[in-house]
Structure 1
Amino acid sequence: MKTAISEERVHILDSQSNVWSVISEIALSDNQEDAFYVCDVGDIVRKHKTWKAKLPRVEPYYAVKCNHSLAVLEVLSTLGTGFDCASKGEIEKVLSLDVRPDRIIFALPTKPASHIRHAASVGVSRMTFDNETELHKLKKLYPNAEMVIRIRSDATDAQFILGRKFGCDPETEAPELLRLAKSLGINVIGVSFHVGSGCREPEAFQRAISSSRYIFDYATSLGYNFHVLDIGGGYPGEHGTSIDKIADVINSSLDKYFPDPSVEIIAEPGTFYVCSAYTLACNIHSIRNVTETDAETGNTKTRKMYYINDGVFGSFNCIISCDNHVVVPIPLKDYTGSKYHPSSIWGPTCDCVDQVVENILLPEMMVGDWLVFKDMGAYTLSIASSFNSFPIPKVHIVADKNVW
């Protein structure tokens, strides 16, 4: 394994400093106008300790798509996690850290042929499937692959229902696919599922694990010896959230349906590890005052439109991709005692959909002031674009001295 992030790239926090003080120091430095992130490595380390304590049987395979920052991958590889990759590019990035190929699962059920050939060339043998076409491709391109069948088992309450795109029906489609795999001589080693990103129904894991047991037993009747169960992602990672309830359901379900310790249990956490580690600071570069008249009373009021230097085509892409996603701006400056006004926050591009916050009460701020957004580590930088050639924010890495 290659050396983790070098100390020159990390700001070591002492007893007098924290993430907020670092943000203030950067924001108030000369000529600082661009939006920027602060990534707290210690937060990632603490999350890993929590995972190992709450889910001792489950090996985390970090979902690279969530945040593919080299710093994040280096920290997690040092901690010993595996990696869930969805493309040859992600596989290459992880392998560049000297992660062993057997610590990677290519967890995309529908893969381009060139990506399958690449996985074969570098020895990444574990991958998922949920359809006949994929089995025939694998038979031709990578007959020695170790396949994991992905079943559909959606939570009733989740931010993203991934079953709309991936996962075969465990009762009707899965048995047919396993019979086909057997006839083709393909080595299937286990079952995977994903209850949905941002799962808010812990019991969904119980249903999915129960369905997986059924598939394991059916596979045995075909002569397979399944030994891998991938319980996917969906674990919350924002400040103030907990995986305790989900962990309780998973642990009790594993005890009931998979008591055999020889079965390898893995998962694909992403948001859990990185969401709260990243804090984003944005600069107000323009302000527009809009006078509105109440149709019933005739009273007028002023609504403020604040324009910041990051938006929905950049770090706030999550607002477009998830209808219910809400970000909360925190003024960096202390506005205690100030009068608050109805406000909205807009990104920097020329597109009218580039609205970060539609309606919020904020103090009267000035051009050059800063707004801070917590919980910005998941599905932000990894899907940000440079539309209108606005830059993607730089990341400043910090770590507590003891953690480092």
Structure 2
Amino acid sequence: MMSTDFGKITRVHNIPKDEMANLIRSIAAEKHEAGQPFYILDLSTVERLMDKWSHSFPNVKPFYAVKCNNEPALLTKLANLGANFDCASLLEIDTVLNLGISPNQIIFANPCKAISHIKHAAAVGVNFTTFDSKLEVDKIKKWHPQCRLLLRIKAPSDSGSLRPLGKKFGALPEEIEPLLHYACNVAGLKVVGVSFHVGSIAQDPTIYREAIANARAVFDVADYLGIPKMQILNIGGGFRSTPLFEEIASVVNEAVPDFFPDPNLKIIAEPGRFFPETAFTLVTHVIGKRARGEKIEYWIDEGIYGSFRPTLYNSCFVGIKPISMKECCDIRESTIYGPSCDSLDAVAVDIKLPELELDDLIVFYDMGAYSKCAGTKFNGFDMLSTPTYIVSTNST
């Protein structure tokens, strides 16, 4: 059964998946003219993904990376399912706290923080963060000395990910002992564990084992320095809901007891796209069309200055489905442009589509990761205000 009360946030329960196209048409017809794209968030997908995480990683607590998608309904659902949160800024912290989530459920997982953000974390009770430099120790010592710390180390090899992070973040092997000594024995702060991140969209499961082995070496250095026993291992992110996820989980689950036989070790992670990527669908309208020979060019009401900005780097993950208001016709070579006056604003180039008309819909699936959150107001198109409709589908 479907609700027809399409407010900005609409809760629709028990929608069979084969009715999703009808739901999309209904929302478009009742509330959205061309020029007004919208999202649909399927909370049942989020539930299934949490079940998948819990099955694959029974001993790893997820701290969802808020930067990936800060939709309040998503954050609330994840909190209700038992997730904690990885925040990188003052605003992200407040976004989570304003939903009634406890500050104890937040890690301030940014190794380099502005002083004002550190002060705010102290004021609101976020007492868990990362660091990878001596100056960061000094800032934390002065402005948030009760904070617990994780030493962020550089992953041994992040060439197996689509977006490596090691160039910007993580202490090098030769920096680890001086940093631990300075943070604990000089500044008197509490370093309670180690953090690493192999890079976004990991492609090689074996790099997790290598990173866990390096984390073990850091724990050993801490023991050598007489630092109180560290108890937390943060394995970062890099996860997607694909078959590779199961391989990564298997590698991690084997590596942890090999290098950390202590049953009291607490393991956490910072998944981002794993939870929202497949849960969000973006619906756009055809607002323009031009035929050039055998090729058709379309303009839609979203583009690279909105939800498609990050997909320039991972567009292969996005699924496209046209919804025409008439019976389908010839398949044509097509290009889809966004609405701005930038000639680079091309969403999809040289793809096969049935010929569409003005006001027809083009639906983009798996659009929940780093999409709306990266939107801008470039050229006067406000991609930050794209509404989200909340639904719940059954498993059929």
Fold shared, TM-score > 0.5 on shorter chain: yes
User: What is residue 160 of structure 2 aligned with on the other side?
Assistant: 157
What's the % identity of the aligned pairs? 37
3-state DSSP of counterpart to 1:119: helix
User: What is residue 3 of structure 2 aligned with on the other side?
Assistant: none
Deviations 1:211-235 (Å, cap 9, x if unpaired)?
Answer: 0000011111112211111100000
- Mapping of residues 209-288 of structure 1, within 5 Å: 209-224=212-227, 225-237=229-241, 241-288=243-290
1: distance between equivalents of 2:91 and 2:24?
Answer: 32
Deviations 1:218-265 (Å, cap 9, x if unpaired)?
Answer: 11111221111110000013xx55511010001001121122121110
The one of 144, 147, 150 equivalent to 2:146 is: 144
Query: 1:70 Cα shift?
Result: 0.6
2: distance between equivalents of 1:334 and 1:163?
Answer: 48
- Mapping of residues 160-171 of structure 1, within 5 Å: 160-169=163-172, 171=173
The letter for the 1-side match of 2:21 is W
Deviations 1:131-166 (Å, cap 9, x if unpaired)?
Answer: 111011111111221111001113322121111211
The letter for the 1-side match of 2:231 is H
User: What is residue 116 of structure 1 aligned with on the other side?
Assistant: 118
C-alpha spacing 1:329/1:143, structure 2 compared with 1 (3 Å): same
User: What is residue 302 of structure 2 aligned with on the other side?
Assistant: 310
3-state DSSP of counterpart to 1:90: helix
Query: 1:99 Cα shift?
Result: 2.0
C-alpha spacing 1:187/1:21, structure 2 compared with 1 (3 Å): same
User: What is residue 26 of structure 1 aligned with on the other side?
Assistant: 27
Q: CA RMSD in A?
A: 2.2
Query: 1:328 Cα shift?
Result: 3.6
Query: 1:376 Cα shift?
Result: 0.3
Segment drifting more, 374-383 vs 174-183: 174-183
Whether the aligned pair in 2 keeps the contact of 1:19 and 1:398 (CA below 8 Å) is no
User: What is residue 296 of structure 1 aligned with on the other side?
Assistant: none
Query: 1:339 Cα shift?
Result: 2.3
2: distance between equivalents of 1:326 and 1:40?
Answer: 18
User: What is residue 385 of structure 1 aligned with on the other side?
Assistant: 376
C-alpha spacing 1:190/1:334, structure 2 compared with 1 (3 Å): same
The one of 35, 38, 45 equivalent to 1:36 is: 38
User: What is residue 295 of structure 1 aligned with on the other side?
Assistant: none
Whether the aligned pair in 1 keeps the contact of 2:335 and 2:348 (CA below 8 Å) is yes
> How many correspondences in the alignment?
383
| Structure 1 residue runs without a partner (length 5+) | 1-5, 292-301
C-alpha spacing 1:157/1:324, structure 2 compared with 1 (3 Å): farther
User: What is residue 361 of structure 1 aligned with on the other side?
Assistant: 352
Query: 1:17 Cα shift?
Result: 6.2
Segment drifting more, 267-276 vs 385-394: 385-394
| Structure 2 residue runs without a partner (length 5+) | 1-6
Query: 1:16 Cα shift?
Result: 8.3
Query: 1:168 Cα shift?
Result: 1.3
3-state DSSP of counterpart to 2:166: helix
The letter for the 2-side match of 1:206 is R
The letter for the 1-side match of 2:175 is E
